[in-house]
Amino acid sequence: MVICVNALQGVCRAGVGSSLAQRKHVALHQPASVNTQSMQRVKRLCTATSTATPAQVHGSPVHGDSLTTVAGDSLDREPAGQSPEYARLAKDLDKKSPLEIMDHALKQHGEDIGIAFSGAEDVALVEYAHLTGRPYRVFSLDTGRLNAETYQLFDAVEKHYGIRIEYTFPDAQECMDLVRTKGMFSFYEDGHQECCRVRKVRPLRRQLKGLKAWITGQRKDQSPGTRSAVPVVQVDPVFEGLDGGPGTLIKYNPLSNVSSPEVWNFLRAMGVPTNKLHEQGYVSIGCEPCTKAVLPNQHEREGRWWWEDATGKECGLHSGNVVESASEQAKDDLRDLFQDNSVEAVSKQQLQEMMDGKRDKDTLVVLYAPWCQYSQAMEESYIGLAKRYQTSEHVRVAKFQADTDREFAGKLGLKTFPTIVMLPKFSSSGVVKYPTERRDTDSLDMWVKTIAGYES
Nearest alpha carbon to residue 421 among 447, 456, 391: 447
List the beta bridge partners of residue 233: 252
**Would you tell me how many other CB atoms lie within 10 Å of the CB of residue 118?**
34
List the beta bridge partners of residue 275: none
Mapped onto helix, strand or coil, the DSSP state of residue 444 is helix
**CB neighbours of 67 closer than 8 A, spacing ≥ 6?**
3, 4, 5, 8, 75, 200, 201, 204
Measure the N-to-C terminal CA separation of the chain; round to a whole number of Å. 42
Q: Which long-range contacts (CB under 8 A, 24 or more apart) does 242-247 make?
A: 242/112, 242/209, 242/210, 242/211, 242/212, 243/212, 244/209, 247/83
Nearest alpha carbon to residue 207 among 119, 142, 274, 278: 142
Biggest CA–CA distance in the chain, Å, is 73
**Would you tell me how many other CB atoms lie within 10 Å of the CB of residue 395?**
24
Nearest alpha carbon to residue 13 among 186, 176, 208, 190: 176
Residues 337 and 379: beta-carbon distance below 8 Å: yes
Cα(82)–Cα(93) distance, integer angstroms: 15
Tally of helices (H runs) and strands (E runs) in the chain = 17, 15
Dihedral over alpha carbons 304, 309, 314, 317 (to 10 degrees) = -160
Cα(412)–Cα(288) distance, integer angstroms: 38
Residues 307 and 190: beta-carbon distance below 8 Å: no
Nearest alpha carbon to residue 401 among 353, 356, 366, 436: 366
Catalytically active residues are 315
Q: Would you put residue 357 in left (φ > 0), alpha (ψ -120 to 50) or beta?
A: left
Cβ neighbourhood burial of 51 (10 Å; 0-12, 13-18, 19+): exposed
